[in-house]
C-alpha cells in the first residue's frame, strides 16, 4: 500500500532561480536586489562572471534534473503526488507555480526548499516569497514549507562519500596531510547572530554537520583529517561585517602554514550552481593554483538517490505530523532535527517585517 501523503496533494520544489541567457542577467539581478536601489551599471559589473558560462546559470538545469528525479522516486515508491517547481527570482516564478496548482485543483502543497540551513536568506526569505505567491493568487492552495534538512542522513551521507571520492583523487603521499575546507555562503554577522529561534543557528548547524562528516570520514579511513569551516560569495557594503574567513584568504593562510593539498567541500550548497562553479571551481581553484596548493573540489548532493529519497521522507514526515501522528525525525550528529514551524523572531528580516508562511 502506498505511503500516505495526506493532507498534501502536491509537492512544490522551491529554489532561487537564475538567468538562462545573457539578456536575463541584469533583470535577474534586479529581482535579487529589489528595493536596494542598485543601478543597472553596477548590476552588470556584478553579473560579469555569468559571461564565463555563456550568460547562463546552471541552477535551473539542476532543478529540472532534481524535479525529474523526485518524480521518478515518488513513482517508484507508488506515491501519486504531482510535483511543481517555482523560483524566487526567475522563471518559473513562485506565483506562476501557485496559479498552475490552483488551476489543477491542488488544495495543499508541501514545499521543499533547496536551502538546507536556517537563516534569513536561506529560510525566512523563502517563506516571505511563498506568502507573496499565496497573496498574489486568490484561491490557490495552502503552502507548508518542509523543515530544514542540514543534518538529515540523506544530505550528510552523500557528502561523506563525496569527500572520500575527492580524497582518493589526491596522490597517496599528500592524502593524509590534506585539509578538508568546508565552504558555505557567507551572510552578514547580524543575520548569523539572529538565525534560528535562539540565535546562531546558521553557524551552529554548519559546525555540527562539518563535525559529523569529518567523524564519518575518519571512521571510513582510519585517519582524522583537519577540517575548517569557511565562507564564500560575500556581497554588499564592505562596511558591514560578514562571516569570515573567506575561502581564498583561508587557502592563503593554509599555504603559508605549509599545507600542500586541500579538499574543498561545498557543504552549504545542494547542487553545483553559480556559487560553486564560479566562487569555488573558478576563483578558489585559481587561488590554489597560484599558491601551488593541490586542489580537489568535492561534489554536491545533486541528484544522489539518497538526497532525492530524503525529499520523499520529509514529505511523509510532515504529512504524518499534520495528521496528528507521532513521527521519528531522521537526524544525525549533535543536533536534533530542525523544527516545522518558525517562531515570530526566528531569522528576522533585516530591513522590515513581511508576511510569511509557516509561522508557529
pLDDT tens-place string over residues 322-346: 999 999 999 999 999 999 999 988 9
* Burial class of 78 by CB neighbour count within 10 A (0 to 12, 13 to 18, 19+): exposed
The pLDDT, as a whole number, for residue 165 is 98
pLDDT tens-place string over residues 31-59: 998 888 789 988 898 889 999 999 999 99
pLDDT tens-place string over residues 61-78: 999 999 999 999 999 999
The pLDDT, as a whole number, for residue 117 is 98
Beta bridge partners, 110, equal: 11, 144
Place of cell 523560483: 87
- Supply the angle between the helices 153-169 and 201-221 in degrees, to the nearest 10: 50
pTM of the shown model:
0.97
Place of cell 529519497: 309
The pLDDT, as a whole number, for residue 345 is 87
CATH 3.40.50.1400 occupies which residues in the chain? Answer: 10-149+303-322, 153-297
The pLDDT, as a whole number, for residue 237 is 81
Average pLDDT, the chain: 96
CATH number corresponding to 153-297:
3.40.50.1400
Are the CB atoms for 277 and 53 separated by under 8 Å? yes
CATH number corresponding to 10-149+303-322:
3.40.50.1400
The pLDDT, as a whole number, for residue 360 is 83
> Which parts of the chain sit beneath pLDDT 70?
none
The pLDDT, as a whole number, for residue 1 is 74
Amino acid at each position: 500500500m502506498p505511503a500516505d501523503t495526506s493532507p498534501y496533494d502536491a509537492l512544490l520544489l522551491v529554489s532561487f532561480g537564475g538567468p538562462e541567457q545573457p539578456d536575463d542577467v541584469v533583470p535577474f539581478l534586479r529581482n535579487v536586489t529589489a528595493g536596494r536601489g542598485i543601478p543597472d551599471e553596477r548590476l552588470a559589473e556584478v553579473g560579469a562572471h555569468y559571461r564565463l558560462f555563456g550568460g547562463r546559470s546552471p541552477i535551473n538545469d539542476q532543478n529540472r534534473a532534481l524535479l525529474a528525479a523526485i518524480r521518478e522516486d515518488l513513482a517508484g515508491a507508488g506515491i501519486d503526488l504531482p510535483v511543481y517547481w517555482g523560483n524566487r527570482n526567475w522563471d518559473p516564478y513562485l506565483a506562476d507555480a501557485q496559479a498552475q496548482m490552483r488551476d489543477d485543483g491542488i488544495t495543499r502543497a508541501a514545499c521543499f526548499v533547496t536551502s538546507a540551513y536556517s537563516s534569513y536568506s536561506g529560510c525566512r526569505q523563502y517563506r516571505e516569497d511563498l506568502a507573496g505567491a499565496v497573496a498574489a493568487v486568490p484561491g490557490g492552495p495552502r503552502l507548508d514549507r518542509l523543515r530544514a534538512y542540514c543534518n538529515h542522513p540523506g544530505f550528510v551521507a552523500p557528502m561523506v562519500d563525496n569527500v572520500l571520492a575527492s580524497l582518493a583523487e589526491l596522490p597517496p603521499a599528500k592524502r593524509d596531510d590534506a585539509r578538508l575546507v568546508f565552504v558555505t555562503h557567507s551572510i552578514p554577522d547580524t543575520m548569523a547572530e539572529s538565525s534560528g529561534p535562539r540565535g546562531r543557528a546558521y553557524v551552529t548547524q554548519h559546525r555540527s554537520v562539518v563535525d559529523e562528516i569529518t567523524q564519518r570520514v575518519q571512521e571510513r579511513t582510519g585517519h582524522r583529517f583537519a577540517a575548517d569551516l569557511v565562507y564564500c560569495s560575500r556581497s554588499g557594503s564592505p562596511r558591514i561585517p560578514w562571516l569570515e574567513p573567506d575561502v581564498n584568504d583561508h587557502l592563503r593562510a593554509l599555504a603559508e602554514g605549509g599545507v600542500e593539498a586541500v579538499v574543498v567541500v561545498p557543504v552549504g550548497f545542494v547542487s553545483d550552481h553559480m556559487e560553486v562553479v564560479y566562487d569555488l571551481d573558478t576563483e578558489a581553484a585559481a587561488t590554489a593554483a597560484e599558491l601551488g596548493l593541490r586542489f580537489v573540489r568535492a561534489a554536491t548532493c545533486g541528484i544522489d538517490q539518497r538526497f532525492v529519497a530524503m525529499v520523499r521522507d520529509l514529505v511523509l514526515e510532515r504529512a504524518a505530523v499534520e495528521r496528528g501522528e507521532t513521527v521519528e525525525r531522521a537526524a544525525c550528529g549533535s543536533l536534533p532535527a530542525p523544527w516545522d514551524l518558525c517562531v515570530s523572531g526566528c531569522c528576522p528580516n533585516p530591513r522590515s517585517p513581511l508576511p510569511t508562511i509557516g509561522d508557529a
